[in-house]
Amino acid sequence: MQPDDSALTRRTLLRTALGVGAGATLAAVLAACTPGGPTPVGSANGTTDPSDSPTRMPGAGGNAIPADLTPVPAAFSSPADRQGTLVELEYTTYESMSYEQKTDELSKRAIVYLPYGYDEATKYNVFYLMHGGWGNETSTLGTPGGPADFKNVIDNAIAAGEIAPLIVVCPTYNNTSPDDSADFGLALRLNENYRHELLNDLLPAVERKFSTYADDVSPQGLMASRDHRGFGGFSMGAVSTWRTFQYGLDYFRYFLPMSCGTALDMENIVDATRDRDEAGYFVWVITGSDDFAYRYDESRVELMRNSVGFSESGSEEDGNFAFRVKAGYTHDGVAAQEYTYNGLRWFWA
């Protein structure tokens, strides 16, 4: 249904409000989107071809998104009896700013989580989880020799049956320096460009090596398996998520942008839904009431509510996006862990 004149007026006002047009662990802040440094911690299932008409997913669509987020159980921070594995994946890409010329080759690494009992004969859903500012590929899950607390959370949640066994990939948008993510303006530009590396290099490297729903890693093979792939991130990682939505909607079904504390060209991002079936994607926006990102996410969501490509709902059966605000939560690692935990509990449930 086309928006009426009043809706168009609201979208114009929102565009102005949004400015449209133009190694830490997760618990140490997945990272602020603001320039100058992290914000201090405050209080607290078959595959489809995208050329076909998408249908509601029978898994997640049957479960309502909870009205209230579930805190991570304290016991989940301890090592699980049945532990998944972290592995390092090395792959080749190109320098971000000159990527299309492909003159400056780079070797990069992603940290990949494989669930307990990982079996090459089993197909797994894959969630790509991007770090925030002042971080890198080890910030969220740690390393094989030094796993972070959130790796334990995933292990325990899978063991408890709260999350279906899946592969989690933690990459980085850092380019030629591990300090790139500490430069706010540079991080924004790198995330704008990251689609090239993500779609052309990282996805094929991951899904060639591990057992996923992609029958092959050609663009056609990756697009055909998009129902089994998601992307999310907290803070600057949410910028990565929105850029992936904008440029990679053919490759991903689920998106989890958490506490994106900056203005983006949201009308261009929303325009990615043009001529698409609304049943083919789902976005879950989460932030905290006391998070500086709240005003940005609230304005973004209001724009989505008045856009043709989005329909707000409490389940995938009835719409394609949801917005949840955690009372009293700020921009910190506690929030990042809880939001990610809740997202992983719901996707492919």
Tens-digit pLDDT profile for residues 12-55: 333 333 333 333 444 443 433 433 333 332 323 333 333 333 44
> What's the domain range around 117?
5-346
CA distance 16 to 30: 29
pTM of structure? 0.85
Place 248 in a pLDDT band, splitting at 50, 70 and 90: very high
CATH number of the domain to which 238 belongs: 3.40.50.1820
pLDDT above 70: residue 236 = yes
**Helix residue ranges, H only, 142-263:** 149-159, 184-197, 203-209, 219-224, 236-248
CA distance 321 to 254: 10
Considering its fold, how many domains does the chain have in total? Answer: 1
CA distance 279 to 36: 40
Tens-digit pLDDT profile for residues 188-215: 999 999 999 999 999 999 999 999 999 9
